[in-house]
Amino acid sequence: MGGHAVDSDTVFSNYQAVTSKTFVVSLMCEFIGVMVFTFLGSTVSDKVFGPWVNGLALAIWIYTAANISGGHLNPAVTFSTLICGFYPLIHSILYIFLQIVGAIFGALLVAALIPDAHVSMGDGAPGCFDNTVIGKGLTHSQLFGWEVVMTFTLISVVYACGVAKPGHGSFTPLVVGLSLVACAGTGGKWTGAALNPARVIGPLAVFKCGNNVAYIYILAHLLAAVLACSIFAFVSGWGPLSPFQSM
Amino acid sequence: MGGHAVDSDTVFSNYQAVTSKTFVVSLMCEFIGVMVFTFLGSTVSDKVFGPWVNGLALAIWIYTAANISGGHLNPAVTFSTLICGFYPLIHSILYIFLQIVGAIFGALLVAALIPDAHVSMGDGAPGCFDNTVIGKGLTHSQLFGWEVVMTFTLISVVYACGVAKPGHGSFTPLVVGLSLVACAGTGGKWTGAALNPARVIGPLAVFKCGNNVAYIYILAHLLAAVLACSIFAFVSGWGPLSPFQSM
Amino acid sequence: MGGHAVDSDTVFSNYQAVTSKTFVVSLMCEFIGVMVFTFLGSTVSDKVFGPWVNGLALAIWIYTAANISGGHLNPAVTFSTLICGFYPLIHSILYIFLQIVGAIFGALLVAALIPDAHVSMGDGAPGCFDNTVIGKGLTHSQLFGWEVVMTFTLISVVYACGVAKPGHGSFTPLVVGLSLVACAGTGGKWTGAALNPARVIGPLAVFKCGNNVAYIYILAHLLAAVLACSIFAFVSGWGPLSPFQSM
Amino acid sequence: MGGHAVDSDTVFSNYQAVTSKTFVVSLMCEFIGVMVFTFLGSTVSDKVFGPWVNGLALAIWIYTAANISGGHLNPAVTFSTLICGFYPLIHSILYIFLQIVGAIFGALLVAALIPDAHVSMGDGAPGCFDNTVIGKGLTHSQLFGWEVVMTFTLISVVYACGVAKPGHGSFTPLVVGLSLVACAGTGGKWTGAALNPARVIGPLAVFKCGNNVAYIYILAHLLAAVLACSIFAFVSGWGPLSPFQSM
């Protein structure tokens, strides 16, 4: 699959050699996409718009990045496609690195453009996933469970619409975004609805918030990535880069 | 039609032999789809998001399941396509069974992940259709009428977009989900907007709620399934499996 | 164009002989579509969902009817396509008649399924366009102006997406519905956002409401139909049935 | 590229000779589109609908204009495609002129159809971007930063979906509209979310509002136009009219 031209049918399947300009551009897209997505999603002051701003900002940046980088914009998505054999190791590591750097810059932008926000302000800063956003009475196990179910939903949508053939073509970014709207519309009240390790790490790095719970979110995202990959592999087979491919 | 490869033009028309791996995978898709749809739809704590979470969660799981199981995710849809001759009997029975089991597991997930929720908690539990969600002054006949009109709308959309040719291709899951948004945005205040027997039975089985009204919902859904099938058969003809086909 | 098979590219362009079964089915579609659209749109009790229920109910019923009747569902749309030469006279008259009958049955359904609603209850009944929904301080001229601008928007969308070639195919019903969401989201506070003579006449006939202002709404809709047709004819030419065609 | 027939794959790429009827019609489309978009977007009285009315009104008018004028509807979009070599100079100047005239007429329509609104009413008039809509504590630099980020997002979506090949075809107007929904859903509370110089100039000309801040908005929009063009040129190359093309 490597080295192919852009395949407009499957927005999550194109990549080029790591040293190519195309790949450098892909990294730039992941960086910018996660940065602006993190910024817009972190600054919503009216709860009525929370799920919508996050879901639609994700959708529009996936649309923007889709034909260049595939529009992962989420380390959990990249990790899942890596272990399922749809994306190579070095590419994935670089993607995840740029996604996290993008989220950090997004959080810095929040600190710069929101009055009264400043770096290292601790729990309660805009866009943080910490005890101020976790629902009353929710145990750590329940927090973990919620993030697993929601992230599993989002990554399953990515596989079924964007990786499988026939998928749903240019519907994919919209459907992925709407899956975040649906999850955040209910789970937002319980966990803040992260569904994305970069969204947890960016604000943590900039605002020093959520230190004591960040690992729960991230482990949940990684478990969901494994689950979604496992089910997709059972349903549709492993990716072309998987060692299981030849079994 | 049986045994055909996936037909991307008509997301509700593909199925395989009951003993095939494809069919087992289809059952798994119906199970997972209804489970997560029930979970997300049952836990919405903010009324502003109720119709959206339900409609969008339905849409995204139909997208995810569409090219595998057809994405019925609703016993009323499966029942309607059965009696209209678009889906075989044994397949339909197994689909409906797995959809209901999925809804039960979804309700169990609700009990596990919502603080203060527990099995057998009775009326008022999250996701229940009982006297606590039925609008003040609504008679049982009106409850029945509302659910018939709304479920008829949803199934008619399924037929016109997903079964008829030419339909609306990959728009179908979105349109079906939006039909639930529209119905729940108005009827939600009167009936809770079930439109799906599995969504009634799952919470009833787990939380022991709505025992005295569940039959009204389910009979309404079945009547709507018959109505939608009748009108579709009049407009576009019976399905290939219908005994009326050869008349 | 008459007698052609369904053209999936242009959802507003197919019709058959008045005596054909296809045309009878088209009339039935217009009737059912307007009936349920009127019912769902008239019963919204939460203002937050008003524009959405109306816009999405319109969109899903246009999707459902599109490949059969073209999904006009609005006498102003049918009137505009008639005078622009895209739809024949007898067909149009029958469409408009069935649309109005559908709206009346929709209002009867409202009277049947909403507690405390009953026929002839006068101004303030659900779904009425009367002095109880017209914004404070709005003059009759301003009411007229608002409805012209909004209806002109909706019909222009119909022309550009559904009549013009290339249009926007299966996006058309969604875009038409979203145009109603956008208009109702702002003008709803001033006029109730009718944009459709049937939606005015149905409740008026059943609930005897809005007698003194109904003519303002309907004249505005008709003027908007003429305006949208004129601009479309200037931009893209008259329809195949227009007498101006041969000029 | 000039003189080509309508290219349905790329809604932002068609134009004709300045003296052609097609181009006159394009100017009319830009004028009407911006006029109604400005009117609908300026009159939203319920904050819950603000982002939706603006974003959806933009989307539907881009759909309506797309196959004729390309549906720019925003001087920042036209300016960006000009400097990137996708749209000719004279065409761009005329587009921008008509867009601004359209916004002025839209604001006049607001003055005519909203009770108590009248020309020259100053800050606080409907649709104005002035100190009454700017968030408390926001510095002018932050105002500038917010508008740059948001406008950059919108124009990047235009490039990736509507100019690049393969883009996202008829999804483009929807995605552009949703980018405005997402931005206005968060930045609306801080800047009012203009993202469009015409939307600033129209109300300013009619209501004499925001005189002291208008230049901040407009400079931000122009900088965003340059930024989005630069990144797109780096990613996908300059447009066919660019002098850099031959380098």
C-beta of residue D97 within 8 angstroms of C-beta of residue D197: no
Q: Which amino acid is at D200?
A: V
* D interface test, pick of A64, A109, A172, A178 with most D CB neighbours within 10 Å: A64
pLDDT band at B5 (very low <50, low <70, confident <90, very high): very low
Q: C153 CB near a chain D CB, below 8 Å?
A: yes
Give the ipTM. Answer: 0.94
Q: Pick from C199, C116, C34: which is nearest to C191 by CA?
A: C199
Distances (CA, A) of B191 to B210, B217, C63, C111: 12, 9, 25, 17
> DSSP letters along A49-64, please?
GHHHHHHHHHHHHHHH
C-beta of residue C218 within 8 angstroms of C-beta of residue C202: no
Instruction: Tell me the pLDDT of chain B averaged across its residues.
Output: 92
Instruction: Tell me the pLDDT of chain D averaged across its residues.
Output: 92
C-beta of residue D11 within 8 angstroms of C-beta of residue D70: yes
pLDDT band at B10 (very low <50, low <70, confident <90, very high): very low
Q: Domain of A224: which CATH number? A: 1.20.1080.10
In chain D, the residue whose alpha carbon lies closest to the alpha carbon of C169 is: D170
| pLDDT tens sequence across B115-156 | 999 999 999 999 999 999 999 999 999 999 999 999 999 999
Determine the distance in angstroms separating the CA of B47 from the nearest CA of chain C, rounded to an integer.
10
Task: Give the whole-angstrom CA distance, residue B161 versus residue B170.
Answer: 9
Mean pLDDT computed over B87-111: 97
C-beta of residue D218 within 8 angstroms of C-beta of residue D200: yes
D162, D167, D170, D174: CA torsion to nearest 10: -60
Task: Give the whole-angstrom CA distance, residue C68 versus residue C164.
Answer: 18
Helix ranges, chain D (H) = 21-42, 50-69, 75-83, 89-113, 140-157, 172-191, 197-207, 214-236
User: C203 is written with which tokens?
Assistant: 């409740």
Task: Give the whole-angstrom CA distance, residue A161 versus residue A167.
Answer: 4
What are chain B's partners, defined as 3 or more CB pairs within 8 angstroms? A, C
Domain count, chain A: 1
Task: Give the whole-angstrom CA distance, residue D29 versus residue C150.
Answer: 16
Q: A116 CB near a chain D CB, below 8 Å?
A: yes
For D181, which of A52, A61, A173 is closest by C-beta distance? A52
Contact A67 D138 (CB under 8 A): no
Domain of B115, in residue numbers: 21-238
In chain C, the residue whose alpha carbon lies closest to the alpha carbon of D170 is: C168
Q: C219 CB near a chain D CB, below 8 Å?
A: no
Residue C214 covered by a domain: yes
Phi-psi region of D33 (alpha: psi -120 to 50; beta: other; left: phi over 0): alpha
Question: What residues contact residue D1 under an 8 Å CB cut-off, 6+ apart?
Answer: D13, D15, D240, D241
C-beta of residue D106 within 8 angstroms of C-beta of residue D42: yes
Residue A215 covered by a domain: yes
Residue A163 covered by a domain: yes
Q: Which amino acid is at B159?
A: Y
Task: Give the whole-angstrom CA distance, residue D182 versus residue A53.
Answer: 4
Residue A246 covered by a domain: no
Contact C179 D60 (CB under 8 A): yes
Stretch 4-23 of chain A: residues touching chain D, C-beta under 8 Å: 6, 8
Question: Residue B11 above 50 pLDDT?
Answer: no
Q: C113 CB near a chain B CB, below 8 Å?
A: yes
Higher-pLDDT residue of B4 and D178 is: D178
Buried b (16+ CB within 10 A) or exposed e, D48-59: bbbbbbbbbbbb
Q: D64 CB near a chain C CB, below 8 Å?
A: yes
Contact D166 A45 (CB under 8 A): no
Angle of helix A172-191 relative to helix B172-191, nearest 10 degrees? Answer: 30
Q: Pick from C163, A170, C82: which is nearest to D63 by CA?
A: C163
CA C132 to mean position of chain CA atoms: 22
Q: D189 CB near a chain A CB, below 8 Å?
A: yes
> In a 10 Å sphere around its CB, with 0-12 CB exposed, 13-18 middle and 19+ buried, how is residue D109 labelled?
buried
What percent of chain D shows pLDDT beyond 70? 93
Q: C160 CB near a chain D CB, below 8 Å?
A: yes
Which residue shows structure tokens 């930063």? D145
Contact D43 C183 (CB under 8 A): no
Which residue shows structure tokens 């209209």? B84
Phi, psi angles (nearest 5°) of residue D195: 60, 15
Residue B3 covered by a domain: no
| pLDDT tens sequence across D11-37 | 455 567 888 888 999 999 999 999 999
Q: D35 CB near a chain C CB, below 8 Å?
A: no
Task: Give the whole-angstrom CA distance, residue D52 versus residue B24.
Answer: 42
**CB < 8 Å to D140, chain A:** none
